[in-house]
Structure 1
Amino acid sequence: MSRLYGDPIEVWTREGQPVQFVWRDRLHTVRRILDHWVVARELWKISESDPGERRFWRLEAGPGGRGGTYELRFDTAAEGWLLMRALD
């Protein structure tokens, strides 16, 4: 089962990949990246220098010893991160 959110989050990256994020006032540490994909669509294109990509990561993360599976999205046009879903 998964829950959709679309919540804005703050993310720290290393070499372009998320390593930590804050969601609901809790720091989550990324333990493992399960999948990564990029979606580029002309509708999101705002200029020739910005392809309007949306980059997605499915990962295992959590605060402290607990963990879960999450999907994060980075929108290059908006330069913002969202937590898209939490998977059980």
Structure 2
Amino acid sequence: MSRLYGDPIEVWVRDGQPAQFVWRDRLYAVRQVQDHWVVAREWWKTNDADPGERRFWRLEAAAGRDVGTYELRFDTASGGWLLLRAWD
């Protein structure tokens, strides 16, 4: 079962993909990238000259002994990262 969050997170990237992230004051190490996709933002829904794109990753990550599946999103227009979803 998954839970939706939409929480801002801090992410460290290596070779163009997330390697570690901090969520709720815990450091998570990415163990495996399960999926990655890119969605172009709709230019007609924004006032920006370059609306950018949103890059998504579904991955397995661990904080200590706790291992889970997480979905992260990077918005190229804002430069911000969000943790969108976590699976039990």
TM-score by length of 2: 0.90
Q: Which amino acid aligns with 2:27?
A: L
* Residue matched to 1:8: 8
Distance in 2 between the 1:55 and 1:44 partners?
17
Unaligned runs of 5+ in 1: none
Q: Percent same amino acid at aligned positions?
A: 73
What TM-score comes out, normalization by structure 1 length? 0.90
User: What is the root-mean-square deviation in Å for CA atoms of aligned residues?
Assistant: 1.3
Counterparts of 2:58 and 2:73 in 1: how far apart (Å)? Answer: 9
- Alpha-carbon distance, 1:65 to partner: 2.3
Which stretches of structure 1, 4 residues or more, deviate above 6 A after TM superposition?
A: none
Aligned to 2:56: 56
Q: Which residue in 2 is equivalent to 1:35? A: 35
Distance 1:64 1:87 in 2: 17
Q: Which amino acid aligns with 1:33?
A: V
What's the offset of the Cα at 1:17? 0.2
How many residues align? The count is 86
Deviations 1:50-78 (A, max 9, x none): 45100000000021122000000000011
Q: Which runs of 5+ in 2 are unaligned?
A: none
